[in-house]
Amino acid sequence: MATGTPPRRGFFNNPRVRDEALTAYLFISPYLLVTLVFTVGVVLFAIYISFNQFNLYTWPPEWVGLDNYVKALALKGQFIHSLVNVIWYVIIVVPTQTALALALATLINVKVRGSQIFRTVFYAPSVTSSVVITMIFWWLYLKTGYLNFFLTQLWSVFGAHWQAVEWLNAPKGLFQLIAIALGGNIPSSLSYLRGPSVTWMAIMFQNIFTTAPTFMIMFLAALQEVPPSLYEAAAIDGANNWQQFWKISVPMLRPVILLVIVLGTIGTWQVFDQVKILTSGGPLDTTLVPVYLIYSEAIGTNGPPTMGYASAMAFLLAVIIFIFTFVQRRVIERGTEQY
């Protein structure tokens, strides 16, 4: 006598499963409530505000459609100018801090006496408050600060004179300085061709100094997971240290390199605190970045608050970061599965 398959008892007709699920949701309900209100709700409200003119003091918001997005994407607008600045920042900072972090991790991965001390020294800048580090660099970058003093003393050893540089008030771009040195010039009106300003490069150096140690720890952890037998086999085959680094270490670290580059790119696109403390976007907007522009427009630093315009810029920046991250994953992630 054939017997039919007994019906499955699902969520609604199985008391034990239902009670366990309800208990679990009850425990996580505070987190879900906070997420719904302060994350999902805020994002949805910001999307709505981005299509409105809203200055925090008037209600209801005035619907303006796509005007805020059109204003943000104007070729001669501040948002596009800030994007150009931050693109220079990404191009210079991300590769430099990645290469420096990998080099430091390789150096301190060598088992020698005192390596723990070097790890602590190298990592110290990353655990220090960003505001504190920025203030220290502010003292270094003053015209009468320690950096100009050190360079003055160094130049004097060779019988030369160092002209003190106002590191935080030098709007001339890198390519502009090179052109001047070669007898030419790039007009200041061609801001997109001047390259990153001296002030912007000074902030880049600070970011590299404080961020590379964090990525160094990530690379160090990954290096210690590489089987020593691979290096031993390569040494037996006659490979030197440099060949072992490029043929073994770098391929084995590709997943971590992807992670470091993606995190570094997202972080550089969102740079804010150094600009806020050191320059406020100056001189001549050469250090103006999208996040600081969004902040200043939202709270009305230079005029009435424009929350709608700030929200539109914020969503445009989010889309740009997503595109960059997606492309990086597609390009770098190929072949990492085998490692």
pLDDT digits (tens, 9 = 90+) for 30-66: 999 998 988 899 889 989 999 998 887 777 888 888 9
CATH topology of domain 69-338: MetI-like fold (1.10.3720)
Distance separating alpha carbons of residues 239 and 111, to the nearest angstrom: 20
Helix (H) or strand (E) holding 331, with range, is helix 307-332
Q: What's the gap between Cα 34 and its chain centre?
A: 27
Check pLDDT > 50 for residue 324. yes
Ordered DSSP codes for 123-189: HHHHHS-HHHHHHHHHHHHSTTSHHHHHHHHHHHHTT-------TTS---BHHHHHHHHTT----TT
pLDDT band at 338 (very low <50, low <70, confident <90, very high): low
Q: What percent of the chain has pLDDT over 90?
A: 30
Check pLDDT > 70 for residue 267. yes
> What number of other Cβ atoms are within 10 A of residue 127's Cβ?
10
Distance separating alpha carbons of residues 295 and 300, to the nearest angstrom: 8
What pLDDT does residue 313 have? 94
DSSP letter (8 states) at residue 197: B
Range list for CATH 1.10.3720.10 in the chain: 69-338
- Judge contact between 141 and 147, C-beta under 8 A: yes
pLDDT (mean) for 183-190: 78
